[in-house]
Amino acid sequence: MPHLRLETVGMDTLIVRLFDSIEESNMGWVLAADSALRQVFGAALIDLVPSYTTLLLHYDVTMLEESEARARVSQALENLSPDNGQQGQLHEVPVWYDDSVGPELVPIATRLGISVEALIERHCAHDYCVFALGFAPGYAFMGVLEDALTTPRLKTPRQKVAAGSVGIADRQTAIYPSRSPGGWNILGRTPLTLFGRNAAGEPSSLFMPGDRVRFVSVSREEFLRQGGDVTPLEERS
């Protein structure tokens, strides 16, 4: 059950905090809160960003004072129940797991005392929930990794990580949608495009909060057939 707390983070922004720890079971509550808040705030809502345990609520101060915004949050969430019936889209994501594009693949397998093949199987064995989008357009934070795969971020982040790189950090997994700096442990690469523009020319992300992602191991040949770039990651640094 959520424990509602409101935090002021700006003259027009509140954090609606529902939980203190990251769990997949949170998402039904977060999605329900997202829907209820959008309905109650209506035209006074500028933006609402759901995350693992919170929602960032940006409202129009020309329409609402903070006290009224807080009252509307309480009204929206008074009889909240989890929206477990709202299923996001399931995405099957092809990944070429190889140490040339996934330099942490072998070290993590060695640390766990298992084969690279077993590590790949374990990373692919779970459907991951998309908790939030952030860091870069289309960058989806997903979880939760099994405890044994929990791995700290790199001590020194890379200056350049290739687009499509699939990584893990702590209890999360993610895919870099574009070339960028990053400190996650890279296991492989997907040929999919994660962020672009839709038919109307508007920015569009492949993933949305509440979606689920299933990684599927593919061969180098299949990766290339789908348009993947096999340039080794370290050659991009």
Per the listing, tokens 């593919």 go with 218
pTM (predicted TM-score): 0.81
pLDDT of residue 124: 97
User: Over the range 28-50, which residues count as b (16 or more CB within 10 Å of their CB) and which as e?
Assistant: bbbbbbbebbeebbeeebeebeb
Preceding omega of 144 cis (within 30 degrees of 0): yes
pLDDT of residue 44: 96
pLDDT of residue 81: 86
Q: Give pLDDT tens digits for 164-218.
A: 999 999 999 999 999 999 999 999 999 999 998 776 666 689 998 889 999 999 9
Q: Tell me which residues of the chain have a pLDDT lower than 50.
A: 236-237
pLDDT of residue 237: 44
